[in-house]
């Protein structure tokens, strides 16, 4: 099986306006490549009985109990399944950078949608938190009809903020997570990465499963510039005149050092770390999630 056959290029995905369709294309493409899902069998969890009222779905009547008590009871199921997953999407200004057609934010948006779709498809509860220098949207993790559409609608209307503050949303999230949850962080980690990872470590110590999708643009990772140029910081507007060829190696070393540092810090505390290039398909991210999901439940 070749990924080039089964997974859709991010640029192609980005050309699809409908985010739901985009998420579905990404997930279905990924799943069809697996042939067989190792995670089937999750069922709805029974919680209580109630009296039958006219109009209830007769399929939910517990006929065994009716045989014993001669009364009609309806089985009630909790609207959550095995797992609760919260997706944290960084919408800071640096996430709006794009060397090609797909920005990091767009890539993260598609990834978040695909993750949500994928999680819901597995009957897990999914929530969404977007943030820049503050928390912008909070959709608690739920598994119910319409919740996915609400998440997708929120993702569609996302816009990049001006600055980044990953720490505060993570702190709020860590404080509010009660039951054991799955936390997916989609960010470029360009600001406060040490504090952010430290908070993720705290979550991990609280029993939550945490995975970090470190989204980097291809130009950030490979620095393909040639001519002497004036580089302007997307967030601070600071500028610097330089010859890219002269600093490429030092830059690549610095970036490699940075990503490696992030990886080591995450892995040392059980936080999964996945570096994503916006020029690559989403399968890597989905596979990483599935791996983590299968290991946890």
Partner 1 sequence: MSFLTPIFLFGLFAAVIPIAIHLIRRDKPPKIVFSTLRFFRQTTRKQFLLQKIQQWLLLLLRAAVVSLLVLAFARPFFSQSVSAWADLAPRSVVVLVDVSLSMGYRDYLDRAKTAARSIINDLNPGDEAAVILFSETARAVYGPTSEFATLHGVIDGIESPEFEKTRYFPAIRLANELLEDSRFDIKLVHLVSDFQNSGMKDFDSNWRLEPGVDFFTENVGYEETKNLAITGVKSPANLRGSEREDELFVRVRTLGSLRLDQAEIAVSINDQEQTRKVVNLQERSETVVGVSVKFAEEGSHVGKASVVDSDFELDNDFYFTVDVLPRIPVLVVNGDASKNWYEDEAHWFTLAASSNQQSPFVLTTVDHNAFDARDLDTHRIAVLLNVGDLSSSQAQALHAFVEAGGSVLFAPGDQVRAGNFNRQLGNVSPATLIDHGNLAANDYLLIAQVENRHPIMRELNVDWGVRFNDYWALKPAESAEVLMKFDNGAPALLEREVGKGRTLIFASTLDLEWNNLPLQGMYLPLIHETLKHLANTPEKNSSYLVGEKVRLQNGAATTNLLDPSGEALTLQEGEDGFTLRRPGVYRRVVGDQTLYYAVNGAAEESDFASVSPAVLVDQVLNPATTPTKSAAVRTQLLKMELEQPQRLWWWLLLLVVLLLLTESFVANRTHR
Q: Which residues bind partner 1 (CB under 8 A)?
A: 94, 97, 104, 188, 190, 217, 219-220, 225-236, 238-248, 250-251, 254-255, 258
Longest CA pairwise span in the chain (Å): 85
In the bound complex, what is the minimum distance in angstroms from residue 206's beta carbon to partner 1?
31
Radius of gyration of the chain (CA): 22
Q: Which is nearer to partner 1, 17 or 227 (CB)?
A: 227
Query: Shortest approach of partner 1 to residue 171 CB, angstroms?
Result: 23
- Cβ-based nearer residue to partner 1, 25 or 189: 189
Beta carbon of residue 182, minimum distance to partner 1 (angstroms, whole number): 28
Distance CA 76, CA 73 (A): 9
Strand order in the sheet with 125-131: 135-142, 125-131, 84-90, 182-187, 209-216, 272-277
**Complex with partner 1: residue 74 or 234, whichever CB lies closer:** 234
Residue with smaller CB distance to partner 1, 69 or 236: 236
Q: Are strands 239-242 and 135-142 parallel, antiparallel or unpaired?
A: unpaired
Report d(CA 200, CA 186) in Å as an integer. Answer: 12
User: Distance between CA 252 and CA 100 in Å, rounded?
Assistant: 19
Nearer to partner 1, 58 or 239 (CB): 239
Q: Judging by beta carbons within 10 Å of its beta carbon (0-12, 13-18, 19+), is residue 89 exposed, middle or buried?
A: buried
Least CB distance from residue 262 to partner 1, whole Å?
13
Using CA atoms of 61, 65, 70, 72 in order, give the dihedral in degrees to the nearest 10: -20
Nearer to partner 1 by Cβ, of 173 and 185: the residue is 185
């Amino acid at each position: 099986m070749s990924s080039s056959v089964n997974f859709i290029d991010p640029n192609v995905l980005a050309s699809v306006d409908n985010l739901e369709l985009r998420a579905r294309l990404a997930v279905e493409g990924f799943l069809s490549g697996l042939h067989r899902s190792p995670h089937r069998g999750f069922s709805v969890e029974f919680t209580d009985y109630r009296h039958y009222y006219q109009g209830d779905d007769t399929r939910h009547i517990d006929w065994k109990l009716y045989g014993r008590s001669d009364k009609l009871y309806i089985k009630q199921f909790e609207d959550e399944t095995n797992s609760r997953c919260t997706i944290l999407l960084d919408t800071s200004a640096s996430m709006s950078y794009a060397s090609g057609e797909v920005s990091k934010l767009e890539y993260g948006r598609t990834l978040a949608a695909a993750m949500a779709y994928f999680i819901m498809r597995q009957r897990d509860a999914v929530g969404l938190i977007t943030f820049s220098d503050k928390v912008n949207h909070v959709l608690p993790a739920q598994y119910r009809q319409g919740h996915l559409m609400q998440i997708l609608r929120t993702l569609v209307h996302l816009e990049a903020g001006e600055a980044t503050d990953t720490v505060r949303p993570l702190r709020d999230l860590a404080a509010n997570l009660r039951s054991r949850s799955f936390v997916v962080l989609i960010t470029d980690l360009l600001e406060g990465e040490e504090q952010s990872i430290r908070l993720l470590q705290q979550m991990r110590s609280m029993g939550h499963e945490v995975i970090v999708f470190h989204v980097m643009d291809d130009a950030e990772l490979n620095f393909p510039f040639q001519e002497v140029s004036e580089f302007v910081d997307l967030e601070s507007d600071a500028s610097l005149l330089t010859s890219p060829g002269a600093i490429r190696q030092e830059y690549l070393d610095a970036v490699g050092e940075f990503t490696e540092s992030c990886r080591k810090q995450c892995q040392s505390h059980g936080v999964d770390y996945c570096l994503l290039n916006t020029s690559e398909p989403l399968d890597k991210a989905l596979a990483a999630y599935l791996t983590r999901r299968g290991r946890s439940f």
